[in-house]
């Protein structure tokens, strides 16, 4: 038995208003007059938050277009642009949801690694550390702030650059930044965390490390999405810590069926991660009976619509593409169903599941 020896985030600050410590946090990480690049979710263009970014010298704000989830071509273009404009930079600060977190991680790595980010989609392929990178989430749930991956859609696959060089050097967890997120978006991204917990806690890879974080994250999700009363600051605080703990839980285990199936949807139909997971979770009673029942209560209580019928009218070829992408996520299936998963999740069974979505 070989135990995973995983790299964690370097520094963590948590607290409402901690964003305003950014100047102080970045100062020792500046290299001469090389600029700090702030990669900001395009939602914040023209918003007050941008005026609070501590720009110095040649620092630059770049808005990240996250209309679609990050692509390797988008990462390569951003890194090339920065190399041409500045040569070297002090670092990258990603401010936004999971998509912006992942873009910031990937661009940091591509500042110091040759070729295309598509060359590094996989496990431990990245050769050199990236430039300094900090992550500041404005949505809670993905766990991208703590993970050792950055999920990218490339020419042939949707897969992260998983490596010890991928985690952030610094994260700033300021729940006030998530306050204005739209209700639906907050729910979908929050459910990503809830689903991480269920998949981790019900998985065969579970150990006490994952369980400790997973149980705490699950409890926080329950308080947030099943509690009574109006949404308050305390909800945002809890959900941000749930995301962190949920991410820590899967760092030492794995996700499961909902993610494996949702990756197929995302690859073929461009379905986004949070909502895609919800669409799938809605139909997974067979695998996670208690989790799915509770998920449905959360959907109802928060008055969220989960799309149905999204695979209607797809061709055999399209179903095959999704099945191939999904069955390619071997560690996820093994975590969910055990070593003999291939005997349980046959192509026919998976096709029937996709047809129900
Ligand atoms: P997102 O980053 O894709 O953003 C969704 C939408 O919310 C965007 O339109 C964005 O502009 C907007 N937004 C962001 N913050 C906002 C705010 N405070 N107020 C209003 N709008 C805001 O959403 P997400 O669910 O956080 O992230 C999904 C992405 O994360 C996917 O690309 C997925 O692959 C990735 N992911 C990564 C990991 C990892 O470990 N690296 C894990 C899970 C998911
Ligand atoms: Zn997820």
Q: Please state, in angstroms and rounded to a whole number, the distance separating the CA atoms of residues 15 and 173.
A: 6
Q: Please state, in angstroms and rounded to a whole number, the distance separating the CA atoms of residues 267 and 256.
A: 17
Calculate how far, in angstroms, residue 252's C-alpha sits from the geometric centre of ligand 2: 14
Structurally, the chain folds into a number of domains equal to 2
pLDDT band at 332 (very low <50, low <70, confident <90, very high): very high
Helix (H, G, I), strand (E, B) or coil at 270: coil
Tell whether 189 and 324 lie within a shared domain.
yes
3 domain-assigned? no
Burial class (CB in 10 A: 0-12, 13-18, 19+), 2: exposed
Strand partners, 158: 153
117 domain-assigned? yes
C-alpha 87, offset from chain centre: 29
Q: What is the CATH number of the domain that holds 135?
A: 3.40.50.1970
Tell whether 306 and 282 lie within a shared domain.
yes
Identify the H or E element spanning 151: strand 151-153
330 domain-assigned? yes
Tell me, what's the pLDDT at 214? 98
Helix (H, G, I), strand (E, B) or coil at 65: coil
Q: Which strand ranges, in their side-by-side order, compose the sheet holding 158-162? A: 122-123, 158-162, 151-153
6 domain-assigned? no
Strand partners, 14: 173
Tell whether 161 and 230 lie within a shared domain.
no
Structure tokens at 308: 């149905």
% pLDDT > 90, the chain: 96
247 domain-assigned? yes
Calculate how far, in angstroms, residue 234's C-alpha sits from the geometric centre of ligand 1: 21
Where is the domain boundary, 178, 195, 223?
178
Burial class (CB in 10 A: 0-12, 13-18, 19+), 86: middle
Tell me, what's the pLDDT at 156? 84
Calculate how far, in angstroms, residue 139's C-alpha sits from the geometric centre of ligand 1: 6
Q: For residue 307, what are the CA distances in angstroms to 271, 277, 278, 310, 312?
A: 11, 11, 9, 7, 12
Q: Which atom of ligand 1 is nearest to the CA of 192?
A: 43
Pocket residue to mutate for ligand 1, from 99, 104, 135, most atoms within 8 A of Cβ:
99
Question: Which region, left, alpha or beta, applies to residue 143 given φ > 0 means left and ψ of -120 to 50 means alpha?
Answer: left
Average pLDDT over residues 29-33: 97
Q: Which atom of ligand 1 is nearest to the CA of 247?
A: 40
Where is the domain boundary, 178, 203, 220?
178
State yes or no: pLDDT of 1 exceeds 80. Answer: no
Pocket residue to mutate for ligand 1, from 49, 67, 139, 189, most atoms within 8 A of Cβ:
139
Tell me, what's the pLDDT at 3? 87
Tell whether 173 and 200 lie within a shared domain.
no
Tell me, what's the pLDDT at 239? 98
Tell me, what's the pLDDT at 351? 98
Tell me, what's the pLDDT at 78? 98
Ligand located closest to 247 CA = 1
Tell whether 54 and 122 lie within a shared domain.
yes
% pLDDT > 70, the chain: 100
310 domain-assigned? yes
190 CB near ligand 1 (under 6 Å): no
Tell whether 189 and 328 lie within a shared domain.
yes
Pocket residue to mutate for ligand 1, from 104, 108, 143, 144, most atoms within 8 A of Cβ:
144
Calculate how far, in angstroms, residue 275's C-alpha sits from the geometric centre of ligand 1: 11
Tell whether 40 and 78 lie within a shared domain.
yes
State yes or no: pLDDT of 193 exceeds 90. Answer: yes
Question: What range does the domain containing 151 cover?
Answer: 11-178
43 CB near ligand 1 (under 6 Å): yes
Average pLDDT over residues 17-22: 98
273 CB near ligand 1 (under 6 Å): yes
Q: What is the mean pLDDT of the chain?
A: 97
Ligand located closest to 180 CA = 1
Q: What is the CATH number of the domain that holds 194?
A: 1.20.1090.10
C-alpha 301, offset from chain centre: 25
Each residue of 121-163: pLDDT tens digit?
Answer: 999 999 999 999 999 999 999 999 999 999 999 988 888 999 9
Where is the domain boundary, 178, 203, 227?
178
Tell whether 102 and 219 lie within a shared domain.
no
- Relative to beta strand 170-173, strand 36-41 is unpaired
List the one residue out of 354, 168, 191, 128 whose CA is nearest residue 263.
354
Burial class (CB in 10 A: 0-12, 13-18, 19+), 39: buried
Tell whether 154 and 273 lie within a shared domain.
no
Average pLDDT over residues 165-193: 97
String of DSSP letters for 20-46: GGHHHHHGGG--TTPPEEEEEEGGGTT
Calculate how far, in angstroms, residue 196's C-alpha sits from the geometric centre of ligand 2: 6
- Relative to beta strand 158-162, strand 151-153 is antiparallel
Each residue of 76-112: pLDDT tens digit?
Answer: 999 999 999 999 999 999 999 999 999 999 999 999 9
Tell whether 241 and 161 lie within a shared domain.
no
Tell me, what's the pLDDT at 4? 85
Tell whether 134 and 216 lie within a shared domain.
no
Q: Please state, in angstroms and rounded to a whole number, the distance separating the CA atoms of residues 149 and 121.
A: 9
- Residue 8 phi, psi dihedral angles, 5° rounding: -110, 170
Q: Which atom of ligand 1 is nearest to the CA of 102?
A: 41
Q: Please state, in angstroms and rounded to a whole number, the distance separating the CA atoms of residues 35 and 45.
A: 20
270 domain-assigned? yes
Burial class (CB in 10 A: 0-12, 13-18, 19+), 230: exposed
2 domain-assigned? no
Tell whether 265 and 343 lie within a shared domain.
yes
């Amino acid at each position: 038995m070989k135990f995973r020896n995983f790299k964690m985030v370097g520094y963590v600050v948590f607290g409402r208003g901690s964003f305003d410590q950014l100047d102080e946090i970045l100062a020792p990480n500046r290299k001469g007059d090389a600029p700090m690049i702030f990669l900001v979710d395009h939602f914040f263009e023209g918003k007050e938050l941008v005026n609070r970014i501590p720009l110095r010298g040649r620092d630059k704000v770049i808005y990240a277009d996250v209309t679609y989830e990050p692509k390797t071509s988008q990462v390569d273009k951003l890194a090339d642009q920065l190399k041409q404009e500045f040569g070297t930079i002090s670092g990258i600060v990603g401010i936004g949801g999971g998509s912006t977190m992942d873009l910031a991680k990937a661009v940091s790595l591509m500042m110091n690694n040759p070729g295309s980010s598509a060359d590094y989609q996989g496990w431990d392929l990245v050769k050199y550390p990236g430039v300094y990178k900090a992550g500041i989430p404005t949505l809670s749930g993905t766990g991208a702030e703590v993970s050792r991956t950055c999920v990218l859609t490339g020419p042939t696959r949707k897969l992260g650059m998983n490596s010890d060089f991928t985690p952030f050097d610094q994260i700033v967890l300021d729940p006030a930044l998530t306050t204005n997120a739209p209700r639906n978006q907050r729910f979908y991204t929050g459910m990503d965390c809830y689903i991480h917990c269920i998949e981790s806690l019900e998985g065969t890879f579970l150990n006490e490390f994952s369980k400790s974080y997973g149980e705490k994250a699950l409890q926080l999700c329950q308080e947030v999405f099943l509690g009574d009363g109006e949404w308050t600051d305390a909800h945002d605080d809890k959900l941000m810590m749930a995301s962190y703990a949920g991410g820590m839980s899967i760092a030492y285990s794995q996700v499961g069926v909902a993610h494996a199936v949702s990756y197929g949807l995302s690859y073929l139909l461009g379905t986004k991660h949070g909502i895609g997971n919800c669409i799938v979770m809605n139909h997974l009673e067979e695998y996670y009976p208690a989790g799915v029942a509770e998920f449905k209560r959360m959907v109802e209580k928060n008055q969220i619509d989960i799309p149905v019928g999204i695979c209607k009218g797809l061709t055999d070829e399209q179903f095959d593409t999704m099945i191939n992408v999904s069955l390619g996520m071997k560690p996820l299936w093994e975590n969910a169903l055990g070593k003999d998963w291939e005997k349980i999740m046959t192509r026919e069974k998976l096709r029937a599941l996709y047809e129900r979505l």
